[in-house]
Chain A
Amino acid sequence: MVKKAIDMWVKPKDYENLIEILKIVHKLGFETIAVEIEEKKLMKELNNLEREYKVKILRRKTIVAEKEEELRKSLRGIKKLYDVVAVKPLSYPVARFAARDGRVDLVIIDNDSIRYLDLSEIRLLEQFNGALELPLNHIIAHIGKARFLTRLINKTRLITRYDPPVIVSSAASNVYNLWHPLQMIGFLMLIGIPESKATSAVIVEPFRIITRIRG
């Protein structure tokens, strides 16, 4: 079976926006996308859209939490509604809890949460089959800041050295924010991640997570 690229985070604003994205996603070479939608009406229509546009659609939920209790509350019964659960930690305890918890698939690393990525977090993620997520549009928005760029490069060094599971997603809210899989690989190479690791971040690791979810 040929593995194709997977975009793990697309967040359309409304139904029309989602259809525009679905039209282009297939052209870009994605087989599966994880969509984050708040409206419950749209959630029911995803199955029909899946058949129409020949793209597998997963339901995704992103949780932003500062305290452990907040995260626990929002994780309760979440796997019944959503396929992919990602957590954006805003403190060390939340980051550790997210890495340990079996319901959490991805831990987001962006401008606000990059400081909570360290060696023990990486070891926990490896142990509990989680993965780090790099949302490219969030990263690009802050790449002009020197402090963020230095932090990012330092963390990529950590990633290349200890080799935790990493995935990349576009975090696109419209068509013009989408990324081609080759562009994703190229960008990761630009920030210092080796080519083999970059390719696995776009294709292999997301596939592993999806097979784990769907069984």
Chain B
Amino acid sequence: MEYILIAFALLASITLLLLFKLIIVEKKVNVLVKLLSNYPRIVERLSKRIEAKRKVRKRYIVFEVISNCKLSSEELSREVSSKVMELLGRRGVAEIGYRFLFFDEKLNMGIVRSTNRAYKLMIGILGLIRKIDDCSILIIPVSVHTTLNKAYEKIRELGKTK
């Protein structure tokens, strides 16, 4: 009976110790978080380093075009490519992994490729295209996908509902 009591006391003390340690660690983490929140620049630098270490992956942006006239795939690809080139230059185009992949003239939907680091910039650039020749257009980003098949699937899905 005594042995059981001793073992129980030992177990209890060990668990108490572990809990105590956990609380200390938590407190330290909280202090660190508070400290870092006072220095946003350090946090930004750290997040940039983490971002730089992340692997570059492809992202496929599905977009929809609203326009007052019929658009051909060639016209749109020419306009988008020239806009990207104008804003980012050849090096920028290579860095963001831009490629105009597909445009369905019936559904007015298309796919543009970019990377996980720059797809938001790419969406921003799509927003700058407002006119092609005399046609006014509005490009709306619908979704971002990890694979081309999923992007095609999305377009098919939206096509059925239309």
Q: Give chain A's interface residues, CB within 8 Å of chain B.
A: 24, 27-28, 140, 174-180, 182-190, 194-195
What 0/1 pattern do residues 41 to 84 of B give for CB contact below 8 A with A?
A: 00010000000000000000000001110000000000000000
Which of B9-17, B102-110, B123-131 touches A?
B123-131
Interface residue from A176, A185, A195 paired with B138 (Cβ < 8 Å): A176
Q: Does B6 contact A (CB under 8 A)?
A: no
* A residues less than 8 Å from B128 (CB atoms): 140, 187
**Cβ B141 vs Cβ A182 within 8 A:** yes
Interface residue from B68, B120, B136 paired with A182 (Cβ < 8 Å): B120
Q: Give chain B's interface residues, CB within 8 Å of chain A.
A: 44, 66-68, 87, 120-128, 130, 136-138, 140-141
* B residues less than 8 Å from A184 (CB atoms): 124, 127
**Cβ B127 vs Cβ A186 within 8 A:** yes
Bound: A174/B126 CA distance, A: 18
Bound: A190/B84 CA distance, A: 11
* B residues less than 8 Å from A183 (CB atoms): 123-124, 126-127, 141
**Cβ B130 vs Cβ A180 within 8 A:** no
* B residues less than 8 Å from A24 (CB atoms): 66, 138
* A residues less than 8 Å from B122 (CB atoms): 186
In the complex, how many angstroms separate the beta carbon of B118 from the nearest chain A beta carbon?
9
* A residues less than 8 Å from B130 (CB atoms): 140, 176-177
**Cβ B120 vs Cβ A185 within 8 A:** yes
In the complex, how many angstroms separate the beta carbon of B46 from the nearest chain A beta carbon?
14
Which of chain B's residues has its CB closest to A163's CB?
B40
Query: What are 28 A-B pairs with beta-carbon distances under 8 A?
Result: A27-B140, A28-B140, A174-B136, A175-B66, A175-B138, A176-B66, A176-B136, A176-B138, A180-B123, A180-B141, A182-B120, A182-B123, A183-B123, A183-B124, A183-B126, A183-B127, A183-B141, A185-B124, A186-B120, A186-B122, A186-B123, A186-B126, A187-B124, A187-B127, A190-B124, A190-B125, A194-B44, A195-B120
* A residues less than 8 Å from B121 (CB atoms): 186, 189-190
In the complex, how many angstroms separate the beta carbon of A65 from the nearest chain B beta carbon?
29
Extra 18 A-B pairs, beta carbons < 8 Å, given A28-B140, A174-B136, A184-B127: A24-B66, A24-B138, A176-B66, A176-B68, A176-B137, A178-B138, A179-B127, A183-B124, A183-B127, A184-B124, A185-B120, A185-B123, A186-B121, A186-B123, A187-B127, A189-B121, A194-B44, A195-B120
* A residues less than 8 Å from B123 (CB atoms): 180, 182-183, 185-186
In the complex, how many angstroms separate the beta carbon of B83 from the nearest chain A beta carbon?
11
* B residues less than 8 Å from A190 (CB atoms): 87, 121, 124-125
Which of chain A's residues has its CB closest to B128's CB?
A140
* B residues less than 8 Å from A178 (CB atoms): 138
* A residues less than 8 Å from B136 (CB atoms): 174, 176
* B residues less than 8 Å from A180 (CB atoms): 123, 127, 140-141
